[in-house]
Structure 1
Amino acid sequence: MDLQLILALIAGIATIVVIVLATRLDAFIALLAASVVTGIVAGQDLLSIVDAITTGFGNTLASIGIVIGLGVGIGKILEVSGAADSLARAFLRAFGDGREAWAMGTVGSLVSIPVFCDSGYVIMNPLARSIARVKRGGYVTLALALGCGMTLTHHMVPPTPGPLAATGILGADIGSVILTGVIFTVLLLPVVVIYARWIGPKLEPVLNAAVKHDVYGSVTAASAGGHAVEGGGDRTEHGNVATMTGEDADAATTASKSDDSTNTATSAAGGSTEAGNNETGATKNPGAFLGFLPLIVPLLLIVGNTVSTAIDKSAQGELSGDTYEPSAWVAPLAFLGNPVIALMIGLILAVYTLLPRMTPRNKVQNWLADGAASAGLILLITGAGGAFGMVLTESGVGDALAEAIASISLPAFLVPFVIASLVRIAQGSGTVAMITAASVTAPLIAPLGLSPLVAVMACTAGSMVFSYFNDSYFWVVTRFTGLDGMNAIKGWSGITTAVWAGSIPLLFVLDLIV
């Protein structure tokens, strides 16, 4: 591999780490600066660096920007109406006390089969916040379990684009890939829950102060050790610890619900944390069924789009979708199931089914404006992550890594696994890593005697490794979760690497069986 490209990658990552950890600048500036440094060290033309930054930023926000905006609007209405609280309590009753992390991981893995994990996380994060608020703690554990549950199926179960494209490129049977991907997901879900339960309590005390306040409000959040971390007051005091009895906590909850004027908060996931403070003037919170409608209807519409498109592609023999033209019957479903349209329908449902009929228009508009404002920094950072990834791609780092590892003598199934892993680290996108690894591996299938099914699973599993600064989903999860700096690395990068490592023995077994 070209030494210059290695230095470019190292320089870019170092720039992010130094700026985020040692300066007053935030991750948005760090990612843009890293993009410039990487491009210069890699030898790119200066103007092409700027083009790559703007293109990557625009492409990323084109796919996720509107979705985040609509998602935080839904979350805001769920919170201020009290529907999120009702939904959380119903969810806890259904799964049982103590199994919240399992519930979040399972729901995340199911939702992410038909829905992009970015969109799914935005839609489902308010539920994690509501459960944490009801439990008075454990938000980081729930948020990580939700996000990584989504990562599993997003990477390993078609019809998400990455595994679907790898299946087409390598000539594997799509039914076998779906079945194997589901089995891998089931076997790796315990890794997700165990890691989330282990790291969550360690990171809960250092949760971003603003997010902590948004999740728990002025009611204290119970920590793993039975203490309570103050969520209100001075947000900079991460270390303020107080002990609260159950009766005191209930009293504090009641007090917070009665104070309309002082307990409003905007949420990075789109909602006020005071789900129970009855801002709408309603005498009773909406039921769980009504609260679920703005979430399930968009999901069902997106699922309908995904399933109908997959059926249509299969009928046309266009698994990769490169030359796919949808049939006439698919077009209406594709329109309604586009995440933008689906979430817009969800937001309309939230406003007109969850809020009292006489709620003033300006009050609703203010709530939605608060939700949109809270998403601003998330949008900027997510777009900057896409810009950094584009510069890395345009610099040729990913292709150089793939060619270098393909020339190394390894067990056959580890070739696509390592290629996908290195490309993922180099440029951030799991989908690009899968497709790159599949493209490089395709000519090697026959010479290596490698099963196409094993090759596909190796590509998908390898692409999960160490999600960090150049992955837009990293910023979605960590910003919504409230993890900054090294805490984000420990939480999110750590859990994605744990499932990546857990997939290696599964690949060994699959290679022996197939």
Structure 2
Amino acid sequence: MLFAIIVLSVVLVVLLTAVLKVHPFLSLLIGAFFIGITAGMPLAEVVQSVNDGFGGLMSGIGIVIVAGTIIGVILEKSGAAYRMAEVVLRIIGEKRPQLAMSIIGFIVSIPVFCDSGFIILSSLKKALAKRAKVAIASMSVALATGLYATHTLVPPTPGPIAAAGNIGAENFLGTIILIGLVVAIPAVIVGYLWAVKVASKIEVPEDLEEGGLDYDDIVKSFGKMPSTFKAFLPIVLPIVLIAAGSIAKLSGFENGIVNLLTFLGAPAVALLFGVFAAFLLLPKFNEETMTGWIGEGLVAAAPILLITGAGGAFGKVIANSGVADLISSMNMDALAGGALFLLVPFGIAAALKTAQGSSTAALVITSTLVAPLLPSLGIEGAVPLALVVMAIGAGAMTVSHVNDSFFWVVKEFSGMKIKDAYKAQTMATLLQGVTTISVTMILWIILV
């Protein structure tokens, strides 16, 4: 009966978000109260569990999400995202424009939401397509799949951070970032190949237009852009600090340097230093930038914080409902099939993503559902938990279609018809998801 209640609560959340269009924050809270009340928990305990779950998760990753979002807004508004794109184009060369767009998307979407990243780089993508005489649909899919891979797999993007927090892996963000970057590469390659082999055959009206935007004019019109060092620093610095902190922890030593590196490598501290590095990108220090731009970051972070916190409440009620004790008393040998277990979070996340459209919501809900299973199966430690996050992320990218805002951004800014967008974008994300879970399972066999 308890498992049936949990299944019904998930169905309720999906119906509220996908059919009735209720915001995921409210849907998750309603689902949390539904589980607690129908499972027979004392009403006061239901309220306490919701509050504890919401506040507990925010205490671990709230600052990280806010700081990452602020970095993304500053990169977007200062022209740093364009600078990074220009650097990649110089290195890769304009003879391989789709590959350049895939790599640009891979880098930019680590701190910048994939929807925003696509819009920011849309004019650059079109100008480069005209210069290289490549189909705009091909360039669009290459950029979209590059953005999508790191959006669902690599912190400090909010979705993977929330998933890590829900399964108790917030202290292993360094490992999750490293494994996320490795796992995202095959996903990007698959997206790139689909863009070259399939999307290149799709023609949009803009392909036939003469003249239009010129790549050099697009870059010049953006004004003075920051240096390469300043552009990449807000992304690279937090990753380096988190990695150094993780290595310091693993060293087993206790001294001043190790303690300092551990402090600097704490995700909240590392991301705050990333924010300070992003201040170097500000054209001037005034109310517009120091209050306005940062305020935009806070506004963008708010719904993610609320959804993540509600997901924490949802998970806490599930844990306190007795399901964890029930699972621990069961024979879990059937699920404990090593890498095969990863298909469970992958399948749940893929079903949720397909049903309600949001990758972040799929990451949050799935991680709360599988969290009680992990201790019973002996899944603990940095690498196993990181691979669970990858499995959830793989499901959360499978598939992007008409109920996903990113699908419409890609369709509208590329000029594709809906049937062509299904063929190009939706199929590409399906292949990315399948590839990602396959790579994750292989890594499990090798590393765990």
TM-score (norm. length: structure 2): 0.66
AA at the equivalent of 2:282? L
Structure 2 CA distance, aligned partners of 1:164 and 1:364?
Answer: 30
Go from structure 1 to structure 2 and tell me whether the alpha carbon gap of 1:428 and 1:245 turns closer, same or farther (over 3 Å shift): same
| Contact 1:466–1:494 under 8 Å retained in 2 | no
1:306 partnered with 2:246: yes
Aligned pairs (5 A) from 1:27-176: 27-96=24-93, 97-100=97-100, 103=103, 121-122=110-111, 131=121, 134-136=124-126, 137-138=140-141, 139-150=143-154
1:375 partnered with 2:301: yes
Aligned pairs (5 A) from 1:281-300: 283-300=223-240
Q: Which runs of 5+ in 2 are unaligned?
A: 127-139, 162-166, 349-364, 409-421
Match of 2:278 in 1: 350
Structure 2 CA distance, aligned partners of 1:399 and 1:69?
Answer: 34
Structure 1 CA distance, aligned partners of 2:106 and 2:443?
Answer: 20
Please give the per-residue CA displacement for 1:384-439, whole angstroms capped at 9, x wherever unaligned. Answer: 1222122222224355446545254x8xxx53445565578596159947852553
Aligned pairs (5 A) from 1:49-448: 49-96=46-93, 97-100=97-100, 103=103, 121-122=110-111, 131=121, 134-136=124-126, 137-138=140-141, 139-150=143-154, 189-191=185-187, 193-194=189-190, 225-227=202-204, 245=209, 247-250=211-214, 283-312=223-252, 315=253, 327-351=255-279, 353-357=280-284, 360-398=286-324, 400-401=326-327, 404=330, 406-408=332-334, 415-417=337-339, 422=344, 428=367, 432=371, 435-436=374-375, 438-439=377-378
Structure 2 CA distance, aligned partners of 1:405 and 1:494?
Answer: 34
Please give the per-residue CA displacement for 1:138-175, whole angstroms capped at 9, x wherever unaligned. Answer: 45312221135538xx99xxxx985999xxxxxxxxxx
1:500 partnered with 2:427: no
Larger helix fraction of residues: 2
Q: Which runs of 5+ in 1 are unaligned?
A: 109-119, 166-177, 203-221, 229-241, 258-274, 316-325, 443-454
Per mean C-alpha deviation after superposition, the further-off stretch among 25-34 and 44-53 is 44-53
AA at the equivalent of 1:122? P
Match of 2:352 in 1: none
AA at the equivalent of 2:308? T
Q: Following TM superposition, by how much is the alpha carbon of 1:41 offset from its aligned partner in structure 2, in angstroms?
A: 2.9
AA at the equivalent of 1:98? Q
Larger radius of gyration: 1
Q: Following TM superposition, by how much is the alpha carbon of 1:369 offset from its aligned partner in structure 2, in angstroms?
A: 1.2
| Contact 1:83–1:354 under 8 Å retained in 2 | yes
AA at the equivalent of 2:264? L
Structure 2 CA distance, aligned partners of 1:57 and 1:246?
Answer: 54
Structure 2 CA distance, aligned partners of 1:398 and 1:381?
Answer: 23
Per mean C-alpha deviation after superposition, the further-off stretch among 331-340 and 419-428 is 419-428
Match of 2:136 in 1: none
Q: Helix, strand or coil for the counterpart of 2:98?
A: coil
| Contact 1:401–1:419 under 8 Å retained in 2 | no
Please give the per-residue CA displacement for 1:286-308, whole angstroms capped at 9, x wherever unaligned. Answer: 12222112222222222221211
Structure 1 CA distance, aligned partners of 2:67 and 2:225?
Answer: 22
Structure 2 CA distance, aligned partners of 1:398 and 1:480?
Answer: 33
Structure 1 CA distance, aligned partners of 2:40 and 2:434?
Answer: 31
Q: Following TM superposition, by how much is the alpha carbon of 1:18 offset from its aligned partner in structure 2, in angstroms?
A: 0.7
Question: Over the residues paired in the alignment, what is the CA RMSD in angstroms?
Answer: 5.0
Q: Following TM superposition, by how much is the alpha carbon of 1:29 offset from its aligned partner in structure 2, in angstroms?
A: 0.8
